[in-house]
Amino acid sequence: MKGRAGSFAAALALLAALVACTPVVRPAGEPVMTPVFADDALTMADGTLLALRVWLPPQEPRAVILALHGYNDYGNSFALPAELWAGQGIATYAYDQRGFGQSEEPGLWPGSATLVADAISATALIAQRHPGVPLVLLGDSMGGAVTALTIVQGPPAEVVAAVLVAPAVWGLDTMPWPWRASLWLTAHVFPGMTLSGSNLEIWPSDNIEMLRALGSDPLVIKQSRADAVLGLVRLMDAGLASGGTMPLPVLLVYGEQDQIVPREAMARYAEKLDGPVRIATYPEGFHMLLRDLGRALPAGDIAAFVLDPAAPLPSGNEARAGAFLLTDDD
């Protein structure tokens, strides 16, 4: 009996430890104001400031992109493609999403619902800045998952199309079960433990100079909290599940050398998409497709789509997508 009592007590202690160490989430607070646009920040309804970066064309914009960055990154990640888009008459706005860049409490996960709500608020603010100008919501990696959720749940009236750049759709059920189990356990027992992934032989881009600059950029998060990684994976789950009939024109672009979001996961997502969806893949492209050495090709395709969602893509790579993603060659 003593042995059983001791085991029961140990189980209770473990349960208490798990409850005490639940993952930390920092969602938006209660609304206290009307969202506000400023040249260098967006203020959300709960008073939170999100740093804003803007790239404008020399003339009045023909179209506007609201760009959502990837995990551990921030709005400046669009500096390279935004220069090209400005040359095409396209304005680009990119804000630091909650938990990243210059936002409050960087490194803490805000929750998928808050990320989507911020995207909707930001869309309305940018649209007010450019009344009557077509506005396209673009998401890169994590931002792609946020964009997909925003569109599927009911696209803001101001958005005429969406672009998904290597969207984060690598959900839990597409991962090996030991990874799933270890991530869940770590996030619940040691939520503040940091993970860097530096020991993984993974190349996110072939642009080595750019990668070195990210390594020295203090606004780029180098080590993630375990609970933030779990939050990201849950967002990816939701992103994968968001596949279905899209209510507006969507362009999905993906690098065939992507070592972050596996081809199998992207193919599974692409197969679920329906409606006015176009897909292009790039044989030399990595995960950071818009910052790769060959970024001009996908960035040019995106510009053409933004200006006219029905226009042919200059690269002609739309024809590659079916062979690479939608054909089972395993």
The backbone torsions φ and ψ at residue 186, rounded to the nearest 5 degrees and listed phi first, read -65, -45
Helices 296-307 & 79-87 angle (0-180, nearest 10): 50
| Three-state secondary-structure class, residue 17 | helix
The backbone torsions φ and ψ at residue 194, rounded to the nearest 5 degrees and listed phi first, read -95, 140
| Average pLDDT, integer, range 72-92 | 98
pLDDT of amino acid 128: 96
Q: What is the pLDDT of residues 106-157, one digit of tens each?
A: 999 999 999 999 999 999 999 999 999 999 999 999 999 999 999 998 888 9
The backbone torsions φ and ψ at residue 43, rounded to the nearest 5 degrees and listed phi first, read -105, 120
pLDDT beyond 50 at 277: yes
Q: Are 93 and 41 in contact (CB under 8 A)?
A: no
Place of tokens 């780029």: 220
| Average pLDDT, integer, range 312-320 | 94
| Average pLDDT, integer, range 203-229 | 92
pLDDT beyond 50 at 211: yes
Place of tokens 């395993």: 330
| Average pLDDT, integer, range 68-90 | 97
Which one, of 309, 140, 123, 289, lies nearest residue 207 by Cα?
Answer: 289
Q: Are 269 and 243 in contact (CB under 8 A)?
A: yes
pLDDT of amino acid 87: 97
54 has which bridge partners?
93
Q: What is the pLDDT of residues 152-201, one digit of tens each?
A: 988 889 999 999 999 998 766 666 655 555 555 555 554 555 555 555 67
pLDDT of amino acid 231: 81
| Average pLDDT, integer, range 33-47 | 96
Chain centre to alpha carbon of residue 10: 41
pLDDT of amino acid 203: 93
Q: Tokens representing 234?
A: 């849950």
Higher pLDDT, 239 or 274: 274
Q: At CA 234, angle to CA 201 and CA 67, rounded to 5?
A: 80
Place of tokens 């911020």: 118
Mode of pairing for the β-strands spanning 90-95 and 49-55 = antiparallel
pLDDT of amino acid 19: 46
Distances (CA, A) of 120 to 52, 182, 207: 15, 34, 32
Higher pLDDT, 212 or 322: 212
Q: Are 68 and 33 in contact (CB under 8 A)?
A: no
pLDDT of amino acid 32: 97
Domains in the chain (CATH in brackets) are: 25-325 (3.40.50.1820)
Q: Are 246 and 149 in contact (CB under 8 A)?
A: no
| Average pLDDT, integer, range 35-43 | 96
pLDDT of amino acid 324: 87
Secondary element (H or E) of residue 209: helix 208-216
Distances (CA, A) of 314 to 139, 255, 270: 21, 16, 21
> To the nearest whole number, what is the mean pLDDT of the chain?
87
pLDDT beyond 80 at 305: yes
**One-character DSSP codes across 225-278:** EHHHHHHHHHHHHHHHHT-SB-SS-EEEEEETT-SSS-HHHHHHHHHH-BSSEE
CA distance 264 to 174: 8
Q: At CA 111, angle to CA 30 and CA 201, rounded to 5?
A: 155
Chain centre to alpha carbon of residue 35: 22
| Average pLDDT, integer, range 248-273 | 94
Q: Tokens representing 123?
A: 């869309």
Q: What is the pLDDT of residues 258-268, one digit of tens each?
A: 999 999 989 98
Mode of pairing for the β-strands spanning 159-165 and 250-255 = parallel
Secondary element (H or E) of residue 211: helix 208-216
| Three-state secondary-structure class, residue 185 | helix
Band of pLDDT at residue 243, cut at 50, 70 and 90: confident
| Three-state secondary-structure class, residue 28 | coil
